[in-house]
């Protein structure tokens, strides 16, 4: 895999739109030691057709799957299957969004402002005051607290540990240390979630390049292999989620681990989508790193932070590094870099297995990718 991403301590980037996407693709191809002429597959969560036209290429594999923040894990899953089936040789996937600078510079986002199509939530959820996007996650957190005794302090520790990782990432939006007390003192957004329980709103972009295992061994960087993949979704509106404390990650994770032939205890680095602290906590349970309902006690000693037994979101995550709207691309990029030993001060020693676990919509669609430094374990 070749990877690239970009973010800034200011939260804003100079480039935007297709220019930013093209820059990321160029960097990822350079990282892999490939060129645009090698590409015969394109993945894009809006329009792979429009992107290919802009790039001036004619791919024989195309993927415009859009499931929100988990789209990019699904793109990797699909690309791996397509390459394995001989449908294509080299696939690029890209994401770029600049919501912060679009607002400050009064710039219209690429493609204009989207029109909302048929959406039952407009009739059945929003009129009752459900604040978006944090409202659905606040509901999940409230239910988890009621059912399992999870505390705001335990959720806050996730934000604290993630900020400790961000302190070692020079591109992170926020690097100053925070405490559990700081999180609890930050303004409530939707009970029980405080401001520091919530993800950022920043510009950001990233890209990946995939090819066969055989070809990857002869490219510019040590290869990172897709060992397993799984996807599952079970609702669109939060009111239709079967159980507010169990995400579809319980299915996608089990399938991905089974395909890879690994267990949670084999994972050296977890990149788990952290749109909110409760999102990350649910991942830990549903992926099997701890039992259902034990996520709170599991995180309260800081084991997901530097020096902990389960390094999670080592780039600073959506809580402190960057969050342009659909964060799944950044999970993949950091996972690959950790496995290649390229993360500097935040490098996890001896990392051989990493998981990128994307979450889309409102805890709706989960996609799990298991990556490793060896093609088989």
Please give the residue range of the domain that contains residue 21: 2-106+198-372
6 domain residue, yes or no: yes
Cα four-point dihedral sign 302, 310, 146, 232: positive
360 domain residue, yes or no: yes
28 domain residue, yes or no: yes
Q: What is the pLDDT of residues 160-199, one digit of tens each?
A: 999 999 999 999 999 999 999 999 999 999 999 999 999 9
- Asked if pLDDT for residue 29 goes beyond 60, the answer is yes
Check residue 127 and give its pLDDT. 87
- Mean residue pLDDT of the chain comes to 95
- Asked if pLDDT for residue 345 goes beyond 70, the answer is yes
248 domain residue, yes or no: yes
Domain count, the chain: 1
186 domain residue, yes or no: no
Using a pLDDT cut of 70, give the percent of the chain over it.
97
Check residue 114 and give its pLDDT. 46
Check residue 107 and give its pLDDT. 67
- Which of the four pLDDT bands, split at 50, 70 and 90, describes residue 115? very low
Backbone angles phi, psi at 206, to 5 degrees: -165, 165
Backbone angles phi, psi at 49, to 5 degrees: -65, -50
322: its two tokens: 């960057």
Task: Compute the half-sphere exposure of residue 67: CA atoms within 13 Å on the CB side of its CA.
Answer: 24
165 domain residue, yes or no: no
- Asked if pLDDT for residue 351 goes beyond 60, the answer is yes
Report DSSP state, residue 373.
S
332 domain residue, yes or no: yes
What are the beta bridge partners of residue 228?
A: 370
Q: What is the pTM of this model?
A: 0.96
Separation of alpha carbons 12 and 9, rounded Å: 8
Q: What is the pLDDT of residues 15-24, one digit of tens each?
A: 999 999 999 9
Q: Residue 203 is part of a domain; what is its CATH number?
A: 3.40.47.10
Check residue 377 and give its pLDDT. 56
Over 29-81, what HEC string results?
HHHHCCCHHHCCEEECCCCHHHHHHHHCCCCCEEECCCECECHHHHHHHHHHH
In DSSP notation, 269-313 reads EEEE--SBHHHHHHHHHHTTSS-TT-HHHHHTT-TTSTTSSS-B-
Q: What is the pLDDT of residues 261-308, one digit of tens each?
A: 999 999 999 999 999 999 999 999 999 999 999 999 999 999 999 999
162 domain residue, yes or no: no
What mean pLDDT is predicted for residues 304-321? 98
Torsion of CA 330, 331, 332, 336, to 10 degrees: 100
Check residue 110 and give its pLDDT. 61
């Amino acid at each position: 895999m070749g990877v690239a991403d970009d973010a800034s301590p200011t939260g804003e980037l100079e480039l935007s739109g297709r220019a930013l996407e093209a820059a990321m693709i160029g960097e990822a191809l350079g990282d892999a030691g490939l060129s645009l002429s090698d590409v015969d597959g394109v993945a894009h969560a809006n329009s792979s057709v429009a992107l290919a036209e802009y790039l001036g290429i004619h791919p024989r594999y195309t993927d415009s799957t859009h499931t929100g923040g988990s789209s990019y894990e699904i793109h990797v899953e699909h690309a791996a299957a397509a390459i394995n089936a001989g449908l294509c040789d080299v696939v690029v996937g890209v994401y770029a969004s600049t919501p912060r600078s679009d607002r400050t510079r009064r710039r219209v986002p690429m493609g204009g402002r989207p029109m909302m199509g048929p959406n039952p939530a407009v009739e059945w959820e929003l009129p009752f005051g459900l604040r978006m996007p944090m409202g659905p996650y606040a509901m999940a957190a409230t239910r988890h607290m009621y059912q399992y005794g999870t505390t705001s302090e335990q959720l806050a520790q996730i934000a604290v540990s993630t900020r400790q990782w961000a302190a070692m990432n020079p591109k992170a939006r926020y690097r100053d240390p925070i405490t559990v007390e700081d999180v609890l003192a930050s303004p409530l957004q939707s009970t029980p979630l405080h401001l520091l329980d919530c993800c950022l709103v920043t510009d950001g972009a990233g890209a990946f390049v995939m090819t066969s295992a055989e070809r990857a061994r002869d490219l510019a960087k040590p290869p990172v292999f897709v060992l397993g993949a799984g996807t599952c979704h079970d609702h669109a509106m939060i009111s239709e989620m079967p159980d507010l404390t169990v995400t579809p990650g319980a299915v996608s994770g089990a399938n991905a681990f089974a395909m890879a032939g690994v267990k949670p205890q084999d994972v050296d680095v977890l990149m788990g989508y952290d749109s909110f602290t409760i999102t990350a906590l649910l991942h830990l349970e549903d992926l099997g790193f701890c039992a259902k309902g034990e996520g709170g006690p599991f995180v309260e000693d800081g084991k997901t932070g530097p020096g902990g037994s389960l390094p999670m979101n080592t780039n600073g995550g959506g809580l402190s590094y960057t969050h342009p709207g659909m964060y799944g691309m950044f999970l993949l990029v950091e996972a690959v870099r950790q496995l290649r030993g390229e993360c500097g001060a935040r490098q996890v020693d001896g990392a051989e297995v990493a998981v990128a676990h994307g979450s889309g919509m409102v805890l709706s669609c989960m996609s799990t990718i298991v990556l490793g430094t060896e093609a088989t374990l």
